Amino acid sequence: MDEEPERAKRWEGGYERTWEVLKEDESGSLKATVEDILFQAKRKRVFEGHGQVRLGMMRHLFVIIDSSRSMEDQDLKPNRLTSTLKLMEFFVEEYFDQNPISQIGIITTKNKRAEKLTDLAGNPKKHLAALKKVVDSTCVGEPSLYNSLNCVALPSGTEIKEILVIFSSLTTCDPANIYELIKTLNALKIRVSVIGLSAEVRVCTILTRETGGSYNVILDESHFKELLMLHVKPPPASSSSECSLIRMGFPQHVIASMSDQDAKPSFSMSHLDSTGEPGLTLGGYYCPQCRAKYTELPVECKVCGLTLVSAPHLARSFHHLFPLEAFQETPLEEYEGERFCEACQGELKDKSVFTCLACKKVFCVECDLFIHDTLHCCPGCMQTDRTS
């Protein structure tokens, strides 16, 4: 009996938010405020991070997912854990799409312990599979920030530069003074960012401030997604970090035709440690140095340690270094010209239009975002290049 009004209230709670936003501004107009907020949020990402900064191209990111008792809270639907994992899957895909030569690792923490779900690896499939498995696990006990950070920081052999913590609980159960650990992290130049699911916790504020990361707390699910996506983009590298030249191999995909008598199906090196699907394949990528075979790229050669990538991967990482410049925003009223978006050919209806500074073509908001987020080059400029 108690259950029914409870749910109604929760639903109401979700609804209330929209009204909260719907505050009248001074002239009493309502709709402007809501639009503004959405609009600003969309634009924010485009504007951030422009200018001459050095970006770390090969990222080694560890994601720590809190799976303590508080993850069972149902303020994200259906509960925090499921919602988080769903977003994480999306994040992993997006991460590898945008940073093809980077690696990721996942750690969960519950019951005062930290558990390494997946080690650093550049293969999204493995991570996604691991994430799917976590969904069914129960959330118990308290998280331990210390243990999970320690889990990452201890094996100092690998060069981890970033940690992202998704922290739902308000407490952490630590075996030792966490401030000492923060100092160590700082010395190792590890950047720790935190996304809080409930409220601002002091220790996270300090942790992120000291290590130069960002700390955000989600408002609702869409905000959560937005915050997570901010981490897709590589962070600016600190100026002190040295540039290193990395040897890379660009293996060609060799497809042995069935008709070729010499070709024998063989195992790939990546099957050595994975238990499932030990398939024999005919073709694959062969390491130019030691001829070890792999079925997927990017990967680090297990035999000679060479980083193997394909040229398109490298090219895709490249755009971060030369981001497309933000378009100039002008209110629709002031804009005089053809009311068509150059990209989608749709009518310009939003209250602002965006002009590319180079080719002076105009775009609508949606296209502006698509160009900056996905295309990374201005279609207008491309056209002019071609015609000239």
Partner 1 sequence: FRLNIEGLLVYFPTLDAKGHGVLEMPSGTGKTISLLSLIVAYHKAYPLEVTKLVYCSRTVPEIEKVVEELRKLMDYYAKQTGAKNDFLALALSSRKNLCIHPEILHANIVVYSYHYLLDPKIADLVSKELTKKSVVVFDEAHNIDNVCIDSMSVNITRRTLDRCQTNVETLQNTISRIKETDAAKLREYRRLVEGLKEANVARETDMYLSNPVLPDEILQEAVPGSIRTAEHFVGFIKHFLEYLKARLRIHHVVQESAPQFLKDIYEKVCIDRKPLRFCAERLRSLLRTLEIADIADFSAITLISHFATLVSTYSKGFTIIIEPFEDRTPTIANPVLHFSCMDPSIAIKPVFGRFQSVIITSGTLSPLDIYPRILDFRPVTTASFTMTLARTCLCPLIVGRGNDQVAMTSKFETREDFAVIRNYGNLLLEMSAIVPDGIVAFFTSYIYMENIVASWYEQGILENIQRNKLIFIETQDAAETSMALEKYQEACENGRGAILLSVARGKVSEGIDFVHHFGRAVIMFGVPYVYTQSRILKARLEYLRDQFQIRENYFLTFDAMRHVAQCVGRAIQGKTDYGLMIFADKRYARADKRGKLPRWIQEHLTDGSLNLTIDETVQLAKYFLRQMAQPFRQEDQLGLSLLTLEQLQSEDMLQKIAQIAQQA
Closest approach, Cβ 221 to partner 1, in A, equals 12
Contact 298, 101 (CB under 8 A): yes
Among 1, 2, 18, 136, the residue binding partner 1 under the rule CB under 8 A is 2
Binding mask 356-375 for partner 1 (x = CB under 8 A): --------------------
Using the contact rule CB under 8 A, the part of the chain among 47-55, 153-161, 215-223, 364-372 near partner 1 is 215-223
Nearer to partner 1, 152 or 181 (CB): 181
Residues between 232 and 291 that touch partner 1 (CB under 8 A): none
**What DSSP string runs through 34-59?**
HHHHHHHHHHHHHHTT-SS--B-SS-
Closest approach, Cβ 207 to partner 1, in A, equals 9
Among 131, 145, 297, 367, the residue binding partner 1 under the rule CB under 8 A is 145
Among 152, 153, 166, 201, the residue binding partner 1 under the rule CB under 8 A is 201
Q: What is the largest CA-CA distance in the chain?
A: 81
- State the number of binding residues for partner 1 (CB under 8 A): 33
Using the contact rule CB under 8 A, the part of the chain among 44-52, 128-136, 175-183, 364-372 near partner 1 is 175-183
Nearer to partner 1, 214 or 295 (CB): 214
Q: How far apart are CA 105 and CA 140, in angstroms?
A: 22
First CA to last CA across the chain, in angstroms? 74
Among 177, 241, 266, 383, the residue binding partner 1 under the rule CB under 8 A is 177
Tokens of 14: 């979700």
Closest approach, Cβ 302 to partner 1, in A, equals 40
Closest approach, Cβ 199 to partner 1, in A, equals 4
175 binds partner 1 (CB under 8 A): no
Neighbour count for residue 16 (Cβ, 10 Å): 11
Contact 298, 270 (CB under 8 A): no
Nearer to partner 1, 158 or 205 (CB): 205
Nearer to partner 1, 81 or 145 (CB): 145
Burial class (CB in 10 A: 0-12, 13-18, 19+), 175: exposed
Nearer to partner 1, 225 or 316 (CB): 225
Contact 60, 160 (CB under 8 A): yes
Instruction: Look at strands 328-331 and 352-355 and give their pairing.
Output: antiparallel
Closest approach, Cβ 60 to partner 1, in A, equals 26
Using the contact rule CB under 8 A, the part of the chain among 51-59, 114-122, 200-208, 267-275 near partner 1 is 200-208
Task: Kindly state the DSSP code that residue 374 receives in the 8-state scheme.
Answer: I
305 binds partner 1 (CB under 8 A): no
Contact 106, 131 (CB under 8 A): yes
Rg of the chain in Å (alpha carbons): 24
Using the contact rule CB under 8 A, the part of the chain among 88-96, 172-180, 255-263, 287-295 near partner 1 is 172-180
Nearest to 179 by CA among 209, 215, 213: 209
Q: How far apart are CA 234 and CA 57, in angstroms?
A: 7
Closest approach, Cβ 205 to partner 1, in A, equals 8
Burial class (CB in 10 A: 0-12, 13-18, 19+), 279: exposed
Closest approach, Cβ 150 to partner 1, in A, equals 15
Using the contact rule CB under 8 A, the part of the chain among 51-59, 110-118, 196-204, 374-382 near partner 1 is 196-204
Nearer to partner 1, 58 or 195 (CB): 195
Contact 283, 257 (CB under 8 A): no
Nearer to partner 1, 173 or 282 (CB): 173
Q: What are the φ and ψ backbone dihedral angles of 192, each rounded to 5 degrees?
A: -110, 125
Contact 342, 328 (CB under 8 A): no
Nearest to 329 by CA among 301, 292, 364: 364
Residues of this chain that interact with partner 1 (CB under 8 A) are 2, 6, 9-10, 13, 16-17, 20, 70, 75, 142, 145, 170-174, 177-179, 196, 198-205, 216-219
